[in-house]
Amino acid sequence: MYREQIKVLDCTIRDGGLINNHYFTDEFVCFVYRALTKSGIDYMEFGYRSSRELYPPEDYGAWKYCDDDKIKKVIDTADIESDLKISVMVDSYRVKEQEFAPADESPIDLIRAATYVKYIDSAIELINKCHDLGYETTCNIMAVSREIEPDLVEALDQLAKTPVDVVYVVDSFGALYCEQIEYLVKLYREHLPGKEIGIHCHNQQQLAYANTIEGIIHDANFVDGSLFGIGRGPGNCCLELLIGFLKNPKFNLTPILKVIQDYMIPMRQEIEWGYIIPYMVTGILNEHPRSAIAYRKTDDRDKFAEFYEQMREAQE
């Protein structure tokens, strides 16, 4: 049993890049591209399209910027026939003017506008611009667990009037439970007639996979995952789990497992991500994981009780 409308987007390079300043090698990105092609995944997100004025190139790898030529180089090196669509994300509220080539001249198919509710106007401007150039578009409303519902509804009603293709429920802090996911997906569907709904979950409380399934149950047809759950802090919904759950015969799990065994397992010895108690603390307190990330860099990194008390005091 499967639902043919469901599209799977892999955000390994983009979300994973948040833990190493996007310094993935071309070899690794190329290997992921080949594996996702062979696995039948629908979209691969290469990274961010960011402004070099705001993010100095000496501090970041190439996938912070996702220049068309750089993406083309990886695709050419992969040398494989592919139906895999390419995505990039743009933080609409902190980006200088961007020049996008028309979609038919670019390797990019999908541009995802990431925003908070208070910056929804910037996302709408970006969506309109990219739609006119021929790109598929999404709006990823981040940190939805901290938003006030009337403000969220107003933003959704504004998006309903745009050409955006997909609007994502994003549990940035890994704070939501399945009942809240159900409520939000239904709320989005009510206010976004004719639009697809997406779901992007983080794993602070080990609920990213379960909450993604909950979104699917309530007709979210765009779902995100990453290889071995790589991503900032605790990471994301594991792509391999999603493929195991979605019984679509076009998916092939073997190439994904090959990337994990050959690249992700060694990488995890050098870069930390996954379920760790300080991230769980920020999840249950509905806080941004930045405090846990900073704490993990100190000598007290494993003093979990102290971190929990510090976070509780900060909320009082």
Q: Identify which of 261, 262, 239, 309 has the alpha carbon closest to the alpha carbon of residue 11.
A: 239
Same domain, 282 and 179: no
What's residue 99's pLDDT?
A: 82
The count of residues in the chain is 316
Residue 307 resides in a domain: yes
Going by the DSSP 8-state scheme, the letter that residue 262 receives in this structure is I
Residue 121 resides in a domain: yes
Which residue has 């997906």 as its token pair? 185
Same domain, 191 and 168: yes
Same domain, 102 and 234: yes
Same domain, 281 and 190: no
Same domain, 310 and 204: no
What's residue 146's pLDDT?
A: 96
Same domain, 248 and 300: no
What stretches in the chain show pLDDT beneath 70? 1
C-alpha pair distances (Å), 11 with each of 16, 146, 186, 268, 292:
7, 23, 24, 17, 22
300 lies in which domain range?
277-315
With beta carbons less than 8 A apart as the criterion, state whether 248 and 4 touch. Answer: yes
The one-letter amino acid at 18: L
Question: Please, which residues bridge with residue 146 across strands?
Answer: none
pTM of the model: 0.97
d(CA 230, CA 256): 13
Q: Is 95 helix (H, G, I), strand (E, B) or coil?
A: coil
Same domain, 180 and 309: no
With beta carbons less than 8 A apart as the criterion, state whether 174 and 141 touch. Answer: no
65-81 burial: b if 16+ Cβ within 10 Å, else e: bbebebbebbbeebeee
Residue 1 resides in a domain: no
The one-letter amino acid at 186: K
Question: Please, which residues bridge with residue 225 across strands?
Answer: 10
What's residue 95's pLDDT?
A: 86
Residue 237 resides in a domain: yes
Both structure tokens of 312: 């509780």
Same domain, 190 and 304: no
Same domain, 284 and 253: no
Going by the DSSP 8-state scheme, the letter that residue 80 receives in this structure is -
d(CA 14, CA 25): 13
Q: What is the pLDDT of residues 96-127, one digit of tens each?
A: 777 899 999 999 999 999 999 999 999 999 99
Same domain, 188 and 291: no
The one-letter amino acid at 31: F
d(CA 201, CA 213): 10
The dihedral formed by the CA atoms of 100, 103, 107 and 108, expressed in degrees to the nearest 10: 70
User: What backbone torsions phi and psi does residue 94 show, to the nearest 5 degrees?
Assistant: -145, 60
Q: Is 296 helix (H, G, I), strand (E, B) or coil?
A: coil
Q: What is the pLDDT of residues 199-247, one digit of tens each?
A: 999 999 999 999 999 999 999 999 999 999 999 999 999 999 999 999 9
Same domain, 28 and 169: yes
233-250 burial: b if 16+ Cβ within 10 Å, else e: bbbbbbbbbbbeebeeee
Q: Is 7 exposed, middle or buried (0-12, 13-18, 19+ CB in 10 A)?
A: middle
Same domain, 194 and 96: yes
Question: Please, which residues bridge with residue 107 across strands?
Answer: none
The structural domain count of the chain equals 2
